[in-house]
Homo-oligomer: A and B are copies of this chain.
Amino acid sequence: MHMIEELRSLKNQLLFDGSFEHGTFKNIVIAGMGGSGIAGSIFAELYHKHPVCTLSDYSVPAYVDSDTLFIAISYSGNTEETISAYREAEMRGARMVAITSGGELEKMCKSTVKIPSGLQPRSALGYMLSPIVRSMVDDGSTQLKEAASVVKAVDEDTSSLRGIAESMVASERIPIILGYSPYSSVAYRWQTQFNENAKILAFSSSFPELDHNQIVALGKSYGLNKFQFFVFGGSTGRVRDRIQFTLDLAGIEAIEIPMAGKSPVARTMHFVHTGDYISYFAALSRKVEPADVAIIEELKRLLAGI
């Protein structure tokens, strides 16, 4: 599937009706790397009923036991870090769930939500996130429906997003995304989509934390004109004031990305999808193939000793 079709499939992915039984538990650990891991990070900002730890490593913390709901997310089902963490968690007696399109993980886990294969992992975020939201968030199905609707609206007019990308690439600026809680993981998603789709460095940070350190550099660093700043709109109260004052004091011009939607899931996915398109158009502007991540495949071969 061409990358543009993958992008346009997000609205339907959010309506995918996969879910899982979770029973009772006292804490949640979600393991996943990169494009799969981001589903866990986004969920952790949406869900607050139990402690949620996201894991992007080979090992699980010592506290993991039969009170833990362990959710392993790997689009391929063969991510070595996630498989390793899965094995450890299973030995500790955790309640195991997997979200995958196949691979080792599907074979290992009795409670697998099987999702469609054939996409780039990072393009399958809707398939990986929606089963968790549907199973764990009150009103999750309703929020996912609204999310599908706001995502569809982004699909219908992308010309301004193309313009933003073309202008940034023409001046070879590196994107810095200034997010705010609970959209810090979306700012990170933008970073990784610029990395993988457009093959450009990108960085993210979030209010209010950045007001305690990065603000100093925003006012006085060298090299500031090499960066393109993005800021997420729709903030309220103290955070809205912080964003306004910070940009004013530092003298930073940032492109504001408007918020859309009413529910947390819809707002999150609207910000996600906007960044997906800008990174895609940045790839086209650079004349690089958005789907190509050959260096990751080369790395896997080296690690496998091939």
Contacts and interface: CB of A to CB of B under 8 A. Distances in A.
A126 interface: no
Given A27-B27, A81-B208, A242-B303, 19 more contacts: A27-B51, A48-B61, A49-B63, A53-B53, A56-B209, A80-B238, A172-B222, A174-B222, A195-B216, A199-B216, A200-B222, A201-B218, A203-B203, A211-B299, A216-B295, A219-B295, A242-B299, A249-B302, A250-B295
Interface of A: 26-27, 33-35, 37, 48-53, 56-58, 61-63, 80-81, 172, 174, 176, 181, 191-192, 194-196, 199-203, 208-209, 211-224, 226-227, 238, 241-242, 245-246, 249-250, 286, 288, 293, 295-296, 298-299, 302-303
A217 B245 contact: no
A221 B53 CA distance: 32
A293 to B, nearest CB: 5
A296 B221 contact: no
Contacts of A191: 213
Contact of A201 (B49, B194, B202, B224): B224
Contact of A227 (B33, B176, B194, B201): B201
Contacts of A246: 299
A209 B302 contact: no
Contact of A48 (B35, B48, B62): B62
Contacts of A181: 56-57
Given A33-B208, A201-B227, A227-B201, A195 B213 contact: yes
Contacts of A192: 212-214
B212 A34 contact: yes
A292 to B, nearest CB: 8
Given A58-B208, A200-B221, A249 B214 contact: no
Contacts of A223: 172, 174, 200-201, 226
Contacts of A200: 217, 220-223
B202 A33 contact: no
B217 A195 contact: yes
30 contacts: A33-B212, A34-B209, A48-B61, A48-B62, A51-B61, A52-B53, A56-B181, A56-B208, A57-B208, A58-B208, A172-B222, A191-B213, A192-B212, A195-B213, A196-B213, A196-B216, A199-B217, A200-B222, A200-B223, A201-B224, A202-B217, A212-B296, A215-B295, A216-B293, A219-B295, A223-B226, A241-B303, A245-B299, A245-B303, A249-B302
Nearest to A34: B212
Contact of A214 (B56, B195, B209, B286): B195
B217 A35 contact: no
A267 B302 CA distance: 29
Contacts of A218: 201
